[in-house]
Structure 1
C-alpha cells in the first residue's frame, strides 16, 4: 500500500473505541473515516465528534472504498467473525484484546488475513508502555544477568454495572482471564523472549457477582528457556496492586506501569503509559503503509491466547497443562 495517510474505520463505538479514536487523532498519518456500531446512535455520536461517517451495519463499512483498515473494538465473542469479514474485504486489521475467545478462532483469523495479504495486529498496548520497553531492553542488555523468576500481580475491583456483557461467559469469556489476562499473560513471556511451555493454575469463585465463573487465579508458568513466572489475578479486591518482580543472577527489577526500580534504585522513565495507544496505532499505520509485520501480530498473540486457554483448562482439571505453540 503506497499511501501517505491511512483511512480507518472503527467497528464498535464503546469506551475502547473512544480510546482508539483519540489515539488516531494523536497521529498525523492516519484519519478516522467511519464508525460502525449495531447501535447506530452510538456510531453517529462518535463519528460526529471526529467528522467521520456512521454506519449501523458491518457490511456497509467494509464496502466503503475509502476505508483501508479497521480497528475492531467490539464485544469479545464477535472478534473472530469480524476480523475474518474485514480480511475478506481486503482491509488491514487492528483487533482489540482479547484476540478471540479460543485458539481455534485465532487460527481462523490468522489464516484469513494471511490469505488476503492484509496486516493482522492485536491491541497488546502494554508492549508500548515506556516502562515495559525499558524493562525488556534492560533484560536483553544483561542488566540483571540471567532471569530466573518473575512474579506479577494484577489486583482490582471490577464491578461492571447492570450485569454487563463482561459478566456473560458466552459474550466475554471468563472476565478475569479474557478482559485482563490478555495483557498479563502476554507481557511476561514478551519481557524475556521465551514462550510458555507448561502452566499449572488454580482459580476460585470468590464474589457473588461473578457467580458461575472464577474471579481469581494463581498461575505458575514454565518457560522454554527454563525461567519460571508466577501470575496472580483478581477482580474482586478493594485494595489493588499491579506490579512485577523480576529476579536475575546478578540483580533484580521491580516495576509498575509508571515506576521502575533496578537493584533497589529508581530508574527514570521519561513518559507515562498514556503514550501506549498512540504508539500502538503508529506501529499499525507503519505496518499497513510500508508492508511490515507488527510485533503483536496474529501468530505472536496466538501464543498468549493458547496460554490463557491452558490456564483455564488447568484450573478446571487441577492438573498441569502443556503449551507447545500449536496446541493446548
Structure 2
C-alpha cells in the first residue's frame, strides 16, 4: 500500500473552505498532516474538525522543518505566493499554490527555477480547468471537432460591491483586481486551448468602484498569429450597488455565483460554447454537462498527488503557467502605455 501524501494547508482564509473538503474527499490518498496560520483561533477551530493528530503551526518556518510534511497547499495573498513557494521548494516540499501563480513573470520564473533545482513538483491552482466540460472542450479542440480554432470570445459579467476579503483592496497584495482574480482563469483557458502564447496583447482597463483601487472593467485582445485571435471582456460592475436599489428594473447580477460567464470557441468548421463551467454546446447542441459542485478542487488535488506519486509534471505546472503570467504582465503594460505589447516565447 502506498504511503499517503502528507499535506500541510497554509492559510485558513475564505478559499480554504473550497480546498479543505477536497483534502477530506481524498483521505485514502492524502493525509492532512498540518495546518498553518497566524490566527490561533482559526487553527484550533479547524484542527478540531479532523480526526487524528493534525499538527498546527503559527510559524511557516517551523512547519517547513517538519519532516512529516511532504507537500504544502498555499492559500495566501498573491504577494506571498512566490516567497512562500520558493521557501517550501528549497525545503524539499512539493507545492500547490493558488492562482495567480505570482505577482509578475519574474517571480513566476524564480518559482519554476526553485522547483527545477529541488526536483519537487510545483503546480498552480488553475482550478477551473478541472471540470469535465472544460476538459472535454479542449479535447475536442485538439481533435479538430470544429476544424481549426480561429477565435475565442470570453465574456464575464458579474457584480461585486465590496471585496470578499480585506486584502483585495490593496493593489500591493493583489496585483490589480479583476485580472488576477478572474482573468487568470480565463487567460489560462485561452492559452491552454490554443496550446501556445499569443504573438501580441492589447488591453484596456479601468477602475469604477471606490471600494478598491484595481481594474474592474477590462477588454483584452490577443493575437495568436495566422489570423488566430481571442477577446476577453470582464466586468465586476454588471449589477447595482445597494444604494441604487429603488426603482431599478431588469436582472441584477450580485456576484460571480450569479453571473454571465460564457466562452465561444470558433473554428473553421463549427463552434463550441462553454456556459460557465457546467455546460458545453457544439453547434448549439448540448454535448456535456457537469454538476454545480466544488468537485473540481478534488480533481485538482488528485492531479497534484498523482504527479508527485508518479514523478511527472502536473497539469498546470509552474513551467506551463509562466505563459499565463507573461500575458498578465503584458495586459498591465498595455493598459499603462495604451500600446500593443509584443510577446516572445
Shorter-chain-normalised TM-score: which range?
Answer: over 0.9
What are the residue-to-residue correspondences of 1:285-324 with 2, within 5 Å? Answer: 285-324=305-344
- Aligned residues of 1:36 and 1:54 also touching (Cα < 8 A): yes
Task: Give the deviation of 1:272 after TM superposition.
Answer: 4.5
**1-structure distance, mates of 2:14, 2:125:** 14
Aligned partner of residue 94 in structure 1, secondary structure: strand
| Contact kept in structure 2, 1:160 and 1:166, CA below 8 Å | no
Aligned counterpart, 2:246: none
Sort the Cα spacing of 1:216 and 1:103 in 2 relative to 1 into closer, same or farther, 3 A: same
Gap change, CA 1:268 and 1:178, over 3 Å in 2: closer
Match of 1:177 in 2: 179
- Residue 61 of structure 1 is matched in structure 2 by 63
Question: CA shift at 1:264, angstroms?
Answer: 1.3
- Tell me if 1:217 matches 2:218: yes
C-alpha distance in 1 between matches for 2:343 and 2:22 = 34
Question: Aligned partners of 2:101, 2:175: CA distance in 1, in Å?
Answer: 12
Aligned to 1:277: 297
CA–CA distance in 1 between the matches of 2:270 and 2:263?
Answer: 14
Deviation at 1:141, TM superposition (A): 1.5
**Stretch of structure 1 that moved more, 75-84 or 14-23:** 14-23
> Per-residue displacement from partner, 1:245-294 (whole Å, max 9, x unpaired)?
11111111111111111111111325446321111101100111221101
Tell me, what secondary structure is at the counterpart of 2:288?
coil
Structure 2: give runs of 5+ residues left out of the alignment: 240-252, 254-258
Please list, as runs of the form range in 1=range in 2, the aligned pairs for 1:1-328 lying within 5 A after superposition. 3-27=2-26, 28-51=28-51, 52-160=54-162, 164-210=166-212, 212-223=213-224, 226-238=227-239, 239=253, 240-256=259-275, 257-269=277-289, 271-272=291-292, 274-325=294-345
The structural deviation recorded for 1:166 is 0.6
Equivalent-residue separation in structure 2 for 1:236 and 1:167 (angstroms): 16
Q: Distance in 1 between matches of 2:236 and 2:63?
A: 35
Mark the CA change 1:65 to 1:163 in structure 2 (over 3 Å): closer, same or farther: closer
**Greater fraction helix:** 1
**Residues 202 and 193 from structure 1, CA distance in 2 versus in 1: closer, same or farther, beyond 3 angstroms?**
same
Is the alpha carbon distance of 1:91 and 1:219 closer, same or farther for their aligned partners in structure 2, counting shifts above 3 Å? same
Find the aligned partners of 2:70 and 2:226 in 1 and give their Cα distance: 40
Deviation at 1:163? 7.3
Q: Aligned equivalents of 1:293 and 1:149: distance in 2?
A: 29
With the length of structure 2 as denominator, give the TM-score of the two structures.
0.89
Relative to structure 2, which stretch is displaced further, 314-323 or 157-166? Answer: 157-166
Deviation larger for 273-282 or 132-141: 273-282
* Corresponding pairs, count: 323
What's the C-alpha RMSD, in Å, of the aligned pairs? 1.7
Using the alignment, how far apart are the partners of 1:289 and 1:3 within structure 2?
9
Cα distance change on mapping 1:49 and 1:136 into 2, 3 Å: same
Q: Tell which deviates more after alignment, 155-164 or 125-134.
A: 155-164
Cα distance, 1:24 vs structure 2: 1.1
Rounded to whole Å, the distance in 1 between the matches of 2:66 and 2:50 is: 17
In structure 1, what is the Cα distance between the partners aligned to 2:23 and 2:137? 27
